[in-house]
Structure 1
Amino acid sequence: MPKKPKTNQEVAVFRKRVCDVATRLFIEHGPENVTMRQIAAELGVSAMTPYRYFRDKDEILAAVRAAAYNKFASSLSRAVNRAPDVRAKARAVGDAYVRFAKRYPAAYQMMFDFSMQDEERYPELVKANARAHDTMIGYVQLMIDAGLLQGDADLIGYMFWATMHGIVVLEMAGRLDREIDADTLREKCMRTLYAGMLASPPSLEPGPPAHEDQT
């Protein structure tokens, strides 16, 4: 008697299991050192089972990275939407960025520690990557539209993004001296960037505690 086909929900659940296991293996060993057979062994299934859900390891890696980008974008978007005004949105993005990196270090690593050739072969990854980019740039455009900044939104957004990423990586790697905490470094860097653009910085005083991300 043939097996009953799996429901869409069952397929989604197993795909998530594959991605969760693959994420851990990718981080521990690097994607290039992980095989489909290893993933299957960790799942306790036959070597061919993962191929019923993904074409190959690269497709799994693309799915994992797309999920990370989408989680990141959702976290930042919620923070922006909750902020009461344009200045507050800039602070909210920074807070949400740091909070995401600390709460989801594996997702953060999948976004930034690994890259893929021919990413355009994976539409969901391309879409998720673009969404993350738009989230990091969108609030900058709002500030430009409000007359708080002048310049190219993409360039300014990448300046802020590079600064935030550098601070997060230094903190996560334990590379900051005791005299320099991440929050102080972030504030000083942002104030310097805004001053360089001859703009008034958003309020960098800590706001009310943010609600936990519902992801």
Structure 2
Amino acid sequence: MAKKAKTDAEIAAFRESVCDAATRLFIERGPQNVTMRQIASELGVSPMTPYRYFKDKDEILAAVRAAAFNRFSEGLEAAVANAPDARSMGRAVGDAYVDFATRYPAAYQLIFTLNQPNEERYPELRAANARAQENMVDYVRRMIAAGLLEGDAQLIGYMFWASLHGIVVLDLGSGLRGMDGHTLREKIMRTLYAGMKVHPPRLDD
């Protein structure tokens, strides 16, 4: 009797299992040191099974990173949606950013400290990356529209992003010896706002 074909739900569930297993290995060993055979072994399946669902390890890595980017974006979008007003958005996005990096440090490193070759081959990853970048600028546009900031939204958003990333990476790597990350973040943001000659929007709330 022919083997019954898997349903779409079963396929999606197994792909997720592959990604979960691969994530554990990527975190433990680094993506460059993980093979498809090791992923199969982690799952307890034959060496060829993962190839039925993914072309190769790079495709699995792209799927893992896309999922992490989307989880990151969901946090930022919720922060903006729940902010009581435009003045609170900067702080809300910063809190959501740091919360993601603190709760999911391995995922953060996979999406923001890893350069994956040929990323353009993976539409899902490109879309997830673009979503994250848009979220790091969208709240700035809203603040500009409310008269709280002046200037180019993308440039300002990327300035804030670069500052947050630097603080997070140093904090995760125990590089902020003698300095609290929260305090440093507040002082840097105040300095950036002052440089733009705009009153800091509720950094102390």
Judge same fold: TM > 0.5, yes or no. yes
Query: How many angstroms apart in 2 are the aligned matches of 1:17 and 1:86?
Result: 40
Aligned to 2:79: 79
Alignment of 1:2-41 (within 5 A): 2-41=2-41
Q: In the aligned structure 1, how far is the partner of 2:116 from the partner of 2:176?
A: 30
| Structure 1 partner of 2:146 | 146
Structure 2 unaligned blocks of 5 or more? none
Residue pairs, 1:112-191, within 5 angstroms: 112-178=112-178, 180-191=179-190
Task: Report what 1:192 is aligned to.
Answer: 191
Q: Give the corresponding residue for 1:212.
A: none
Distance 2:176 2:116 in 1: 30
Question: In structure 1, what is the Cα distance between the partners aligned to 2:117 and 2:189?
Answer: 33
User: Matches of 1:73 and 1:54 in 2, distance apart?
Assistant: 25
Moved more, 186-195 or 106-115: 106-115
Q: Deviations over 1:123-167 (max 9, x none)?
A: 000100000001110001111112211111111111100100111
Long gaps (5+) in structure 1: 207-215
Does structure 1 residue 96 correspond to structure 2 residue 96? yes
RMSD: 1.0
Taking the aligned partners of 1:77 and 1:28, their CA distance within structure 2 comes to 30
How many angstroms apart in 2 are the aligned matches of 1:85 and 1:33? Answer: 46
1:15-46: CA deviation from partner (whole Å, max 9, x where unpaired): 11111111121122222221111100111100
Q: CA deviation at 1:49?
A: 0.2
Match of 2:53?
Answer: 53
State the distance in 2 between where 1:27 and 1:153 align.
Answer: 34
Give the match's secondary structure for 2:200. coil
Aligned residues: 205
Q: Deviations over 1:165-195 (max 9, x none)?
A: 11111111111123x2111101000000001
Query: For residues 110 and 11 of structure 1, what CA distance do their matches in structure 2 show?
Result: 24
d(CA) in 1 for partners of 2:123 and 2:67? 13
Give CA deviations for 1:47-98 in whole Å, capped at 9, x if unaligned: 0000011011110011011001000000110011000110111110001111
TM-score by length of 1: 0.92
Identity of aligned residues (%): 67
CA distance in 2, matches of 1:205, 1:77: 21
Which deviates further from its counterpart, 106-115 or 154-163? 106-115
- 1:177 partner letter: R
Distance 2:198 2:118 in 1: 39
Distance in 1 between residues matched to 2:28 and 2:104, nearest whole Å: 16
TM-score (norm 2): 0.97
Q: Distance in 1 between matches of 2:116 and 2:105?
A: 19
Any idea what SS the aligned residue of 1:189 has? Answer: helix
